[in-house]
């Protein structure tokens, strides 16, 4: 009997598609799948979309069908009390208890932290927009994420460098990770750029899925709705143009490796 190795993943979309992303990419779902699942699709793995911002969630009795879940960024605050955010926190707690893989990006990173007992809030230093160089901690290099050994059947050993650049666009941040979690990366602007909890929870403050054109369009929208000053937006664009993140593929490897790896450790259920 041949055992199937195909896996199923879910994107929990916490933002609505912009006109720009719809026109160029067909929506954020395609952006995420191209970033985290392109090679998975070649192997026959599949991705499902749940627009959690609109109250669309996977059924609890279907959670076992998925290898992993990805929570996107959002214009909303992860510490907010909208019903869908509270429902998302409950889902994260449930997935943690079930020992399912959960990867959070920006808002997703923050809402995972909140759901599992950490603290999030506004950054004391204001908006961080552009390309930021982050530095990995020693804990990162003792984890299985720091190498691409065995990734997609490859025997290649490619150790992740000490610093990687990533696109950032946030004014909230993780203040304190949950008890038992590990900080894996930081920057001069943000103390928690990445954290892990056991081998099934990973949060990344930056946007490994963003391209420079997506960032530029987002900056234009933030300027147009008066979220940021035009001068600040133009400076952020120029900074991103001068330091195009050549490290995007490394972030993709980290995220894909995390989602593909099996869970081997038992993490006790939190008492929240």
HSE-CB at 15 with a 13 A cutoff on CA atoms is 24
Q: Choose among 173, 54, 58: nearest CA to 124.
A: 173
Which residues are annotated as catalytic? 106, 207, 209
Q: How many CB atoms lie within 10 A of CB 232?
A: 16
Greatest alpha-carbon pair distance for the chain in Å reads: 63
Q: Tell me if 264 sits within 8 A of 47, measured CB to CB.
A: no
Q: Going by C-beta distance under 8 Å and a sequence separation of 6 or more, which residues neighbour residue 31?
A: 21, 25, 209, 210, 214
Asked if residue 181 lies in contact with residue 194, where contact means CB atoms within 8 angstroms, the answer is: no
Question: How far is residue 243's CA from residue 65's CA, in Å, rounded to a whole number?
Answer: 40
């Amino acid at each position: 009997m041949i055992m199937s190795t195909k896996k199923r993943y879910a994107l929990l979309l916490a933002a609505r598609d912009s006109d720009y992303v719809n026109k160029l990419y067909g929506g954020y779902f395609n952006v995420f799948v191209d970033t985290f699942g392109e090679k998975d699709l070649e192997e026959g793995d599949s991705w499902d979309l749940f627009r959690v911002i609109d109250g669309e969630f996977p059924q609890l009795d279907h959670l076992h069908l998925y290898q992993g879940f990805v929570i996107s960024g959002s214009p909303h605050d992860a510490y907010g009390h909208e019903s869908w955010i509270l429902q998302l926190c409950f889902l994260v707690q449930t997935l943690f208890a079930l020992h399912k893989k959960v990867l959070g990006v920006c808002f997703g990173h923050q809402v995972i932290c909140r759901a599992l007992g950490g603290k999030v809030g506004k950054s004391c230093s204001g908006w961080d927009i552009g390309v930021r160089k982050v530095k990995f901690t020693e804990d990162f290099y003792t984890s299985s994420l720091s190498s691409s050994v065995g990734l997609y059947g490859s025997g290649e050993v490619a150790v992740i460098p000490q610093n990687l650049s990533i696109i950032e666009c946030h004014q909230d941040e993780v203040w304190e990770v949950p008890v038992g979690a590990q900080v894996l990366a930081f920057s001069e602007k943000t103390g928690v750029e990445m954290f892990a909890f056991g081998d099934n929870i990973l949060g990344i403050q930056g946007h490994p899925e963003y391209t420079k054109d997506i960032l530029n369009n987002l900056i234009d929208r933030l300027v147009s709705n008066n979220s940021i000053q035009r001068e600040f937006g133009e400076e952020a664009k120029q900074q991103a143009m001068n330091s195009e993140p050549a490290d995007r593929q490394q972030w993709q490897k980290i995220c894909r490796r995390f989602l593909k790896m099996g869970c081997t450790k038992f993490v006790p259920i939190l008492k929240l």
